[in-house]
Amino acid sequence: MRALTAVLTLFLSLASWVASAADKLTVGVALPRAQLGQPNGASADVAEPVRHVFMSYLKGPIIEVVALEARIPAQIAAEAKEKGCAYVLYTDVAQIPKGNGLSMFKKLAPMAGMLPMLGGGSMSTQIAASAVAQGVMQAQAADAQQDAMESAMAAINGAQKSNVKSGDSLSLQYKLVRVGEDQPAKQDKVVGKAKANGEDVLSPMIEAVAVAVVDSVSGH
């Protein structure tokens, strides 16, 4: 009886997980052109780290995220539709050195894992095995995402330490577009200013935009 109860509990948990996954909205994140650097000087390309941090903040119970590899707007829209996205997130980041000059980044999206089906054995064995596999995969995915997030943050912070000077400003403009529509569902811009050389200005801006996007998608 206890074994049957345990199996039913695992089955209900698995069914709940599948249902919640189906209810999520998918947001496609386009790749930014992300260069940090002073005019006429060395620059650092942090496009993928910026995208990864963005996606790490966005991913959760409400939103699934997917990286969009297309670069041309029409291709981005087609790819987003093909991948079942409800929205596409575009971003523009600009570094404005103290006094004058402009460095541009443009556009911004890891993909969730899929639960494998395990064959063989009775139905109860398969259900239990699937639930165990799901737990193992989630733990492994969480560890991998944490490592990737730390690497992305290290790359962004390293680029800012080398290229952001006291008095420089960074702006992050974003546009959230519903797939199939031309007008943005939401767009805005946040600006931050470095008070010291190498200060991390960008990370808090990414987090602020991610919060705004989640609020917009969830209807808050």
Q: How many CA atoms lie within 13 A of 161 on its CB side?
A: 6
What value does the mean pLDDT of the chain take? 75
The Cα–Cα gap between 36 and 96 comes to 10
Q: What are phi and psi of 197, to 5 degrees?
A: -60, 135
2-9: long-range pairs with CB below 8 Å, 24+? 3/124, 4/124, 6/128, 7/124, 7/127, 7/128
97 contact partners, CB below 8 Å, separation of at least 6: 38, 39, 103, 165, 167, 168
User: Which residue ranges make up each domain of the chain?
Assistant: 2-218
> Predicted confidence band at 12 (pLDDT cuts at 50, 70, 90)?
very low
Whether pTM > 0.75 for this model: the answer is no
> Predicted confidence band at 142 (pLDDT cuts at 50, 70, 90)?
low
Which pLDDT score, from 0 to 100, does residue 141 have?
54
> Predicted confidence band at 81 (pLDDT cuts at 50, 70, 90)?
very high
Q: Which residues are registered as beta bridge partners of 192? A: 170
pLDDT in tens, 36-64: 765 555 566 778 888 899 999 999 999 99
